[in-house]
Amino acid sequence: MGECCKRTLLSASFGHREYIVLFLVMFQLVRVLGYTSNNRMKVPAMFTFGDSIIDPGNNNHRVTSAKCNYPPYGKDFIGHQPTGRFSNGKLTTDFLASGLGIKELLPPYLRVHLSPEDLLTGVSFASGGCGYDPLTSALVNAISMTGQLQLFGEYKERLKAIAGEERAEYIVSESVYLACTGTDDIANTYFGTPFRKTHYDISSYLDFVVSNAEKFLRQLRQMGAKKILFVGLPPIGCVPSQRTLAGGILRECEPMRNEAAQVFNSRIQNKISELRNEESFRGTIVVYVDIYNILLDFIQRPYAYGFEESTRGCCGTGLIEVTALCNSITATTCPDDTKYVFWDSFHPTEKAYKIIADYILSTYTQTLS
C-alpha cells in the first residue's frame, strides 16, 4: 500500500478528538518531565535556600514578624494578590525558573496544596529573616539554613513516593540549586543587635558566617546537589533602611556594611575555590554569583536601567518601611514602582528582580550545563 493511502487510513481511523487527547497527554508529560523547547540545559527542577530575597511564601506558615502576605505586597503579582513574596510582584527565582524553561513560578515548599508537578519541578525552602548565622533565624523565628536542609530531606522522600527512586535520583542530581542569604547576618544580627558584637569583631564574625556558609554547601552536596549557584552579598550599606539607620543626615551609603559584604564575598569565593578541588566535590559545579556590582550599578546609575529612584523604597516614605510598616493602611505607594530599584526599604522591585535574573541567566547558567 502506498504511503499516501496509509496516511489516509490512519487519519480515518484516528479521529480529531483522539489527536487532541494524544497531544494533551504528550504536552503534560513534557511539562512533568521538565523538558521544554526553551529548556536548553535540560534542567528538571530548581531548588532555592535562603532569606526574604527569595522566599515566595514559606513564612506565611510561620509565627514570625518577617512576613508580607498582605497588601500592598503583591500589587503587581498575578491577580494583584499578596503571596508572601517580599516585593510588589515576582522574585528573581521566579524569573530564573521561567528562563530555564522549568515553570513560571517557584512555589514555597510549605504551601498547603502542592501538586505532584510542583514537587517534580522544584520548590523554594527559603525563609525571610534567616541567615548563615543560626542566631539570625532565631531572632525572628525564621527557618534556619539547617532547617531548610531538613525540609529538603523531607522533600526527597516525598519525591521518591511520586516519581520512584530512579527518577527522583535523577531530579536531585541534575537540578539547579541556588543559595542566597547573609544580608540579615550583617545588617540585623551584627550591626542591629549587641549579641554578636560582645564576642566578635567584624572580621572574626565574617569568618564565622563564612564557616557556616561552607558547612551549608558541604551538607547540600552530601544530599545530592551537583549544580549550585551561590549568591554573594549585595552592597548592604546602600539599602534604603541602612542609609536611614546609619548613613547620616544625607542618608549616604554606609561604608562599614558595604566593606563587610565585600570581605564576606571575597572569603567565600576563596572557600568555593578550595571546595572545587576537593575529592568530595568531584563532579559538582559550584558557581559564585556576584550580585554586589550589578546592584551597586543600579544604585549609582539608575537611569541606565530605566530607574529614577535608587535611595528609597516605593512603599511609604521609602526610608524605613518594610514588612509590617509597609501596609495598605498606613503606607501609600509610589505612583510608578517601575521607576524604583527598591520596593520597600530592604527588597527590590519586580523590575529590578527581572534585570538581576536576566543577568544571572546570561552570565552564569551556561557554566552549569
Distance CA 102, CA 108 (A): 15
Distance CA 51, CA 283 (A): 28
Do the beta carbons of residue 128 and residue 86 sit within 8 Å?
yes
Neighbours of 292 (CB within 10 A): 19
Instruction: Please indicate whether residue 310 is annotated as part of the active site.
Output: no
* Cβ-proximal residues to 84 (8 Å cutoff; 6+ apart), any chain: 55, 56, 57, 58, 59, 60, 67, 68, 69, 73, 108
Do the beta carbons of residue 292 and residue 261 sit within 8 Å?
yes
Neighbours of 223 (CB within 10 A): 13
Cα(first)–Cα(last) distance of the chain, in Å?
A: 47
**Catalytic one among 52, 124, 127, 241?**
52
For residue 72, is the peptide bond before it cis, meaning its omega torsion is within 30 degrees of 0? yes
**Catalytic one among 87, 175, 310, 347?**
347
Cell 535574573 belongs to: 357
Instruction: Please indicate whether residue 344 is annotated as part of the active site.
Output: yes
Distance CA 154, CA 150 (A): 6
Beta 46-50 vs 176-180: how paired, if at all?
Answer: parallel
Do the beta carbons of residue 185 and residue 134 sit within 8 Å?
no
Do the beta carbons of residue 63 and residue 323 sit within 8 Å?
no
Instruction: Please indicate whether residue 52 is annotated as part of the active site.
Output: yes
**DSSP helix/strand/coil, 311:** strand
Cell 576563596 belongs to: 270
**Catalytic one among 94, 310, 344, 345?**
344
Output the nine-digit C-alpha cell for 166: 530512579
Taking alpha carbons only, the member of 51, 72, 66, 65 closest to residue 314 is 72
- What positions carry a catalytic annotation? 52, 344, 347
